[in-house]
Amino acid sequence: MSISWVTVPTPLPSGPLRLAVTEQGVAAVSYHGDAIGGVPGRVGTPECADESRAGLVKARLAEYFDGQRTELGLPIDWRFTTGPHRTVLQTLTAQAGYGQTLTYGELGARSGVFEDFTDGGWTAARTVGKMMGANPLCLLVPCHRVVASDGIGGFGGGPRGLEIKRWLLTLEGVLPPTLDWNGPG
């Protein structure tokens, strides 16, 4: 199955998103345009020539960023996830809708992956944090909705990553807009 890329302009602090698409759906997303989930970045990977597939991705994301869509409803190709990681990501997708958050520990407990741990959830929460950092389907599998028990938590990409997480949580109404908010409404 071949992979091609769709580039979508966004109002995010990171700029455009790059999405790897296949015949099955979106296989990977990058806020930073770099290689993700084992998928090569720009070099040697063609832009998506299927206008219906690329158009759907661009339209759904534009509606989301304009505040008009709460469910992206894009098909997902799970090929870059396996085992417990996939289970946790699928649990997140099913249980944290638009405008909702879960803590790392809650997600670990709900996934059922960490039932053998007896340390009060500490190891599960840390492991879930690492899994979120390795999420190849960010935004579609909304790792920005996973927060620490005592605050916003982390997000891949360092300080720019936290700006993205705050922006997305503000868009979804979890956080109040700041004076420099550049989102819809």
Indicate whether 12 pLDDT > 70: yes
The pLDDT tens digits of the residues spanning 73-110 come to 999 999 999 999 999 999 999 999 999 999 999 999 99
Q: How far apart are CA 154 and CA 144, in angstroms?
A: 9
Q: Catalytic residue, from 143, 146, 168, 169: name it.
A: 143
Q: Is 138 a catalytic residue?
A: no
Beta bridge partners of 47: 5
> What dihedral angle (degrees, nearest 10) is formed by the CA atoms of 31, 173, 126, 132?
-30
The mean per-residue pLDDT over the stretch 103-129 comes to 83
Q: Report the pLDDT value the prediction gives residue 2, as an integer from 0 to 100.
A: 87
The residue behind tokens 């997140």 is 92
